[in-house]
Structure 1
């Protein structure tokens, strides 16, 4: 494939993904005029209009939609093959764009960076820390780490750890109160609950016991936070019982700043996984990162460290 044709196709595909010549240009590090010109040349060569253009948005025509569906996967495969062949001395190389949660990434992924770069010195990390789910393909990420959301089309996942949520409180909050032995004992106690940054809602979680029994969570909503680490910090002040993602609670539990409430009960929120586009031929840099993270999480025993039935 000629370089000119490859660049023209890439301009079309990225513009279709983001619905904007300007945004596609930003991601391709070109000018909007250059992207528009490439797309116009492609339309001229094909003899059809691929986009409906307006001052507000860019939308695919019926012919554009059909053309995108026919070329997108093949283009991704060719792009991956070229990236792999271009790797430095046969080793994975290039800019590695990864999205992950702010605190989770800092606590459990960033400490792996030194070892990763020792193994793959030709890879340049470009890591983004955001607690919101990203559009992996549309925003041009190679991979993302997170959990608690459904997989969009074209994205696959490899499991890292369970995504369990647990109830925690400061030792001083528990002392002097009536014993909490069953979920019903939480009734009317002040709860520190998590409001989803995606939906803005506080989810009504059911509790699951180690015996697989389920009960409703009767905790009174005294306040909400959009982040489990913030909820842990508030609970540490003795202001209530927090329902938090276990990886965020682990440092507080190990330091004795918080303790589990109803340690035989938890919320099952699926898994924390590493996500990536489901291409048949992944770029070497992406495959290296995925395999490395899965390996390290297994070797460090983080799957058991984040299992609510093992962490008291």
Structure 2
């Protein structure tokens, strides 16, 4: 057991970048972590870490050893979680990361009911508009839209959210109503800059099965979608918002939806040849690997799927979202 404590202390110290941080993650004192690593080094007969007042550095032996044992520590954690799920009701921590807008408007209202269903689980919702490191930040699952997917993570599609192009009545009175996507270049567009990579997200449409992005005239830019919604309500221009943000504002009469398909599949005043469907926003639940999908995570993913609005699931079944 002493060897296992030493290996775990060593791995966490490297991952966290310090002895004290490793202690906080393991729930023990920094002195205990340091002693565990010292005993491990003595058993191995080699120095693994070089400790300075500011940081830890791996020796050549430490680098080799870390590459070998990091996965083993992760496997032990997964095995312990699986055993807990098998022996009893799901318990322990379930840490979920999500963008601020989706987390605040969609996940936050759903989590309390799941927590009541499994009272031995401790739920933690981390709202983060940056790339999260599942291992370093101890994230069990992150909710991401398609443009945020990255190699090395398993991605399970959970919802295909309609996007709304909308503007305040006051803006449309002053500037007129765009009739097709190509008209947007003559309007003031409120664009979203991704906090993850700094890219401006284009506005996608589908016409006759072909995706295109019209030319836009950026009037205001923000890396916070709620701020863009506020700009739009104040008459600053046209915004592209997820249905979970736009629909309440539309219902209150604060925003007017654009390019909406009417009954029979026609748009007001436009010929069928000019029709363009708004590309939806597909969300995925991402986790480290298939072995990380323990019982509590599988239960949460199933709960998410059953809790999403039927229309968001229908679009996935109809194949209007990317695979």
Q: 1:241-256, aligned counterparts within 5 Å?
A: 241-256=238-253
Q: Secondary structure at the match of 2:190?
A: strand
- Say if 2:99 and 2:129, in contact at 8 Å, map to a contact too: yes
Question: 1:189-248: CA deviations, max 9, x gaps?
Answer: 212111222234434x25322423344433222111211122112101111011334443
Separation (CA, whole Å) in 1 of partners of 2:194 and 2:104: 20
Map Cα deviations across residues 101-159 of structure 1 (whole Å, 9 max, x no partner): 23322322222234313331211112222333321211112222222313253x32211
Q: Residue 266 in 1 paired to residue 278 in 2?
A: yes
| Alpha carbons 2:158, 2:284 under 8 Å: kept | yes
**Which of 34, 44, 47 pairs up with 2:45?**
47
Three-state SS of the structure 1 residue aligned to 2:221 is strand
**Partner residue, 1:66:** 64
Q: Tell me, in whole angstroms, the C-alpha distance in 1 between the residues paired with 2:80 and 2:12.
A: 18
**Pairwise CA RMSD of aligned residues?**
2.9
In structure 2, do the counterparts of structure 1 residues 106 and 8 end up closer, same or farther at CA, with 3 Å as the change threshold? same
> Gapped runs of 5+ residues in structure 1?
none
State the distance in 1 between where 2:113 and 2:244 align.
Answer: 22
Q: Look up the SS of the partner of 1:76 in the other structure.
A: helix
How many angstroms apart in 1 are the aligned matches of 2:289 and 2:98?
18
| Residue from 213, 218, 226 that aligns with 1:229 | 226
Match of 1:149 in 2: 148
Say if 1:302 and 1:268 are closer, same or farther in 2 by CA, change over 3 A.
closer
Structure 1 residues 156-175: Cα deviation after superposition (integer angstroms, max 9, x where no partner): 22111236654321233223
**Whole-Å separation in 2 of the counterparts to 1:182 and 1:241:** 13
The within-5 A match list for 1:269-280 is 271-280=282-291
Unmatched segments (≥5 aa) in structure 2: 261-275
Which residue is 2:131 aligned to? 133
In 2, the alpha carbon distance for the partners of 1:210 and 1:126 equals 41
What is the match of residue 119 of structure 1?
Answer: 117
Q: Count the aligned residue pairs.
A: 303
Task: Look up the match of 1:198.
Answer: 196
Change (3 A) 1:88 1:163: same
What SS does the corresponding residue of 2:148 show, helix, strand or coil? coil
CA contact (8 A) 1:81 1:281 kept: no
1:23 counterpart residue number: 21
Pick closer, same or farther for the CA change 1:272–1:62 going to 2, 3 Å: farther
TM-score, scaled relative to structure 1? 0.83
Identify, as 1 or 2, the structure richer in helix. 2
Cα separation, partners in 2 of 1:124 and 1:265, compared to 1, 3 Å: same
Counterpart in 2 of 1:209?
A: 206
Contact 1:19 1:58 in 2 (8 A): yes
Q: Contact between 1:93 and 1:122, CA under 8 Å: does it hold in 2?
A: yes
Shift of 1:281: 5.6
- What CA distance in whole angstroms lies between the structure 1 residues aligned with 2:176 and 2:295? 57
Q: Which of 274, 287, 297 is residue 298 of structure 2 equivalent to?
A: 287
| Counterparts of 2:280 and 2:131, CA distance in 1 | 19
